[in-house]
């Protein structure tokens, strides 16, 4: 059988699917499809996740009948709530080998594939959504993501395009990417491509089918799961406030727990955060944050009296250390001298006779019916002796005549 990989792009209104040949999803496109999601109020919640599960199961059956083997599946999501519902639905249907990735990370996987095909060491990614845009640099070797910058776009289309033009100048980044990949979700990429192409000296690459780009990126991420996991860890490290300056808006709408970019409340929430960022302090590493006791007095610049007090404190500390060391040495000497004597004393743990365990009583057998007692035979009595008959007295003599 020929191995294929399924990539799915799931949005609240549309689902797109693509089947790519090859274990690494680097072959030709076998098939692709898309369908709309019922967004009416009468629609049951979780319509998109349920339809995605049905599509995955149907694709597996069709692939087997067509002589293909579905190796893995990747699903790119834009709504964290639907992503959680899809995960639960996959578990309920016992569907395995499915990886859920955010739309941004699916675009990063696609950018890595472009960099590998063009022999770029690093490739810039401009990911555009209806209300925001993210600029990042993807390393071709390991897929790690760095130089992540996110911006909220203006409501006016002309102003939004001007902001994208400003972000497209990726050649000014410190990592010096060799190319720029433009990927979008819910936006018209061919419409903004000319303006961005003129704004950068880098070669601008756009997928042949922009609407299928995230689905193909999800397939690439699923096919290269170990490498993709390392790139995700690298992105998390790069965005850790403890490792350097970070924009708090950079992950808005990209990971579970954050407001998706297509929601109306997203713009008000992000605008409030942006105002706080402009008015407050930048988020930097802990080593660059001012100490809470920065204004407290230190030993530098103290007068002689304070220095003498400091010297006395050091001398006292030294004496205390010497005294404690002497006490510890004395205790060790006593312990060594006492040890031979203690060794001769009987140990309560020795020569202990452990009683043998009492055997368990036998199980009671079935009750025995009482038998009537039979008296033993009595010995026969000896016959009594029969008295001899009494002698018959002779008749008296007759009287003489």
- Backbone phi and psi for residue 92, each to the nearest 5 degrees, phi listed first: -65, -35
pLDDT reported for residue 227:
56
pLDDT reported for residue 80:
87
Mean pLDDT of the chain: 73
| Regions of the chain with pLDDT less than 50 | 42, 230, 233-234, 236-267, 270, 273-294, 296-315, 341-348, 350-353, 374, 380
Rounded Cα–Cα distance for residues 239 and 246 (Å): 6
Rounded Cα–Cα distance for residues 74 and 102 (Å): 10
Neighbours of 136 (CB within 10 A): 26
Q: Residue 58 CA to chain centroid, in angstroms?
A: 28
Contact indicator for 136, 192 with CB cutoff of 8 Å: no
Fill in the DSSP letter of residue 288: G
- Backbone phi and psi for residue 126, each to the nearest 5 degrees, phi listed first: -115, 105
Classify domain 2-279 at the CATH topology level. Answer: Nucleotidyltransferase; domain 5 (3.30.420)
pLDDT tens string 245-288: 333 344 444 443 334 444 444 445 545 544 444 444 444 333 33
Rounded Cα–Cα distance for residues 185 and 183 (Å): 7
Q: Say how many Å lie between the first and final Cα of the chain, rounded.
A: 164
Contact indicator for 248, 283 with CB cutoff of 8 Å: yes
Element at 72 (helix H, strand E) = strand 68-77
Q: Which of 72, 77, 95 is nearest to 220 (CA)?
A: 72
pLDDT reported for residue 313:
43
pLDDT tens string 220-253: 999 887 655 545 544 544 443 333 333 334 444 4
Rounded Cα–Cα distance for residues 100 and 9 (Å): 10
Per DSSP, the residues of 3-32 read EEEEEEEE-SSEEEEEEEESTTS-S-EEEE
Listed by start position, the domains of the chain span: 2-279
Residues β-bridged to residue 95: none
Q: Give the torsion through C-alpha atoms of 255, 260, 265, 271, to 10 deg.
A: 60
pTM: 0.59
pLDDT reported for residue 1:
77
Contact indicator for 221, 106 with CB cutoff of 8 Å: yes
| Angle, CA 200 vertex, CA 197 and CA 202 arms, to 5° | 95
pLDDT reported for residue 304:
46
Contact indicator for 182, 196 with CB cutoff of 8 Å: yes
């Amino acid at each position: 059988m020929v191995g294929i990989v399924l990539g799915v792009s799931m949005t609240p209104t549309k689902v797109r699917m693509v089947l790519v040949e090859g274990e690494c999803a680097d072959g030709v496109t076998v098939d692709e499809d898309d369908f709309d999601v019922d967004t009416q109020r009468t629609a049951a919640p979780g319509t998109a996740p349920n339809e995605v599960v049905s599509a995955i199961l149907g694709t597996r059956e069709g692939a087997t009948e067509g002589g293909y083997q579905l190796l893995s599946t990747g699903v790119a999501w834009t709504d964290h709530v639907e992503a959680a519902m899809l995960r639960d639905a996959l578990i309920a249907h016992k569907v395995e080998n499915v990886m859920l990735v955010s739309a941004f990370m699916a675009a990063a996987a696609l950018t890595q594939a472009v960099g590998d095909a063009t022999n770029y060491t690093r490739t810039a990614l401009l990911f555009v959504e209806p209300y925001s845009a993210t600029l990042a640099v993807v390393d071709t070797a390991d897929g790690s993501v760095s130089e992540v910058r996110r911006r909220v776009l203006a409501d006016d289309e002309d102003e939004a395009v001007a902001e994208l033009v400003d972000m497209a100048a990726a050649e000014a980044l410190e990592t010096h990417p060799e190319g720029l990949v433009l990927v979008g979700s819910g936006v018209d990429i061919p419409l903004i491509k000319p303006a961005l192409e003129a704004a950068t000296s880098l070669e601008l690459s756009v997928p042949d089918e922009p609407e299928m780009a995230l689905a193909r990126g999800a397939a690439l991420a699923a096919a290269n799961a170990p490498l993709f996991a390392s790139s995700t860890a690298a992105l998390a490290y790069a965005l850790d406030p403890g490792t350097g300056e970070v924009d708090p808006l950079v992950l808005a709408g990209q990971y579970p727990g954050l407001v998706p970019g297509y929601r109306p409340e997203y713009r008000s929430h992000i605008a409030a955060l942006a105002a706080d960022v402009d008015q407050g302090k930048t988020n930097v590493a802990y080593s660059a944050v001012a100490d809470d006791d920065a204004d407290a007095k230190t030993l530098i610049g103290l007068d002689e009296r304070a220095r003498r007090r400091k010297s006395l404190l050091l001398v006292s500390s030294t004496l205390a250390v010497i005294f404690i060391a002497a006490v510890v040495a004395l205790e060790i000497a006593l312990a060594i001298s006492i040890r031979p004597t203690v060794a001769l004393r009987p140990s309560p743990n020795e020569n202990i006779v452990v009683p043998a365990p009492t055997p368990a009583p036998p199980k009671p057998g079935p009750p025995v019916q009482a038998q009537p007692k039979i008296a033993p035979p009595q010995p026969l009595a000896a016959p009594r002796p029969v008295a001899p008959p009494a002698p018959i007295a002779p008749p008296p003599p007759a009287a003489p005549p």
